[in-house]
Amino acid sequence: MGAGAGPRRIALSSFPSPGFTPQGPETTDDALRRSRPRWLAWLLVVLAIVAVALAARWFAAAGVTKNAKSGRPPSAVAVAPVVLADMPETVSAIGTVTPLDTATVHTQLSGNVTAILFREGQMVSAGQPIVQIDPRPYALTLQQAEGTLARDSATLAMARLDLQRYETLSMQDSVARQTLENARTTVAQLEGTVATDRAAVGSARLNLQYTTIKAPFAGRIGLKQVSVGSFTTPSDAAGVAVVTRIDPIDVQFSIPQALLGDVQRKVGSGAGLPVTVLDQDNKTVLAQGAFSTFDNQINTATGTVMAKARVANPPVAASGAASGAAARALFPNQFVNVTMLVDTLRQVPTVPVSALRHGTQGDFVFLVQPDKTVKIAVVRTGPSDGTRTAILSGLTRGQVVVSEGADGLDNGSAVRLPGDKGVTAGGQRRKGAGGAGNP
């Protein structure tokens, strides 16, 4: 075909393959067209980095300016001054009421119960009859012993008369010496017999007394363990009743071994350690007493030592209660709360318990500054009475701390004090007051 007669065929080999670099001469326009995408991309990257940096700097500068001016809207808080006061150092523990004496009363002899002479739960005095056993068999035994004693006493009296006669005849050399010695031996034997009879009479009389079972000491008697008509013996494990001494009464509680030295020094110096016994709610005082003694070893499992306090437990007469029916504040085996005064810190700085905060740096409070901002003050705390806490270091008298509303505060935070517009004395906003940031 001719040059213009048909479509032109181009061989595939005429197109450059990927990665092909022409080897022929390159014009200036071709180089500019190829390099323009590269520097344009780099320019866009640089502009983006500059924009991000400027935005971050702008936001940071805005935050710094805002924090420098106010940081956050002032918080309404309640404040309290640091005051000097005496702070008791106490040990608080859970205690158990334990009676001084508890006795299971047993019968001394066997017999049928003929009478129950007590009312369950009543107070009994020492030596008061509580159970009566049939005394008739023991009364007969006593009579028999007394009869034997009377017979042997008469025989002894006759033998002594014979001995006197033989001694007189012996002085006159009118009786054989053997007869005199036999008379003396007879008298000695009868004296022994009479002594044995007297002991038998005493034993029979004692058994007769044992038929009336009596309370060993003053206290409260429990439930009866026998009934009228039952046969009781000394081997009965339950006995006839249990008597417990309840006034005075002891309270056992544990003391940490770290305080053992302080308590021992106080006890050794003769200083009394007052003990207050409260109910399970730790609100009502049940009794007052004094520390009595320690146990002789420390419990290795708990690191504590058992202590005992003795308290008075007089009757508490209720309105309309009959005489002798008054209850007691403490009951044996009762669980109570015990507070023992170990020492008293004199005139130490104190703050309300609500002012104390806890963080990684330890215990701290927020100190109110003259410009109505707060400053964190790390403190070392001491004993507390539940309302105020002693501060051993970190605060001085007259400083003002935040007592309520400290949540969300930080070092340098602005606060609104009681008396400021829209804030009550408790640190709360008055109804209808403006926002926190509007003074």
What is the three-class DSSP state of 240?
Answer: coil
CB 88, CB 384: distance < 8 Å: no
What pLDDT score does 203 carry?
Answer: 95
Instruction: From residue 104, give the alpha-carbon distance in Å to each of 125, 217, 249, 252.
Output: 15, 12, 18, 22
String of DSSP letters for 55-100: HHHHHHHHHHHHHHHTSSPPEE-EEEE-EEEEEEEEEEEEEEEEES
Q: Which two tokens stand for residue 76?
A: 């309404």
User: What are the extents of the domains in the chain?
Assistant: 73-85+346-416, 91-100+245-317+326-344, 103-133+212-244, 135-210
What is the three-class DSSP state of 217?
Answer: coil
> What are 146-199's pLDDT values in tens digits?
999 999 999 999 999 988 888 888 888 877 888 888 989 999 999 999 999 999
The strand pairing partners of 291, in sequence order, are 309
Higher pLDDT, 27 or 279: 279
Choose which CATH entry (2.60.120.1310, 3.40.50.720, 2.40.50.100, 3.30.70.980) describes domain 103-133+212-244: 2.40.50.100
pLDDT at residue 426 tops 60: no
What pLDDT score does 120 carry?
Answer: 92
Residue/partner pairs of 182-191 with CB below 8 Å, 24 or more apart: 183/159, 186/159, 186/162, 187/156, 187/159, 187/160, 187/163, 190/152, 190/155, 190/156, 190/159, 191/156
Looking at domain 73-85+346-416, its CATH class is mainly beta
Max mean pLDDT among 18-32, 87-101, 312-326 falls in 87-101
pLDDT at residue 221 tops 90: yes
Higher pLDDT, 314 or 319: 314
What pLDDT score does 431 carry?
Answer: 46
> What CATH number does the domain located at 135-210 have?
1.10.287.470
What pLDDT score does 45 carry?
Answer: 77
The strand pairing partners of 295, in sequence order, are none
Superfamily in which the 91-100+245-317+326-344 domain is placed by CATH: Efflux pump adaptor protein, beta barrel domain (2.40.30.170)
What is the three-class DSSP state of 212?
Answer: strand
Share of residues in the chain with pLDDT > 90 (%): 46
What pLDDT score does 70 carry?
Answer: 47
Question: pTM of the entire structure?
Answer: 0.61
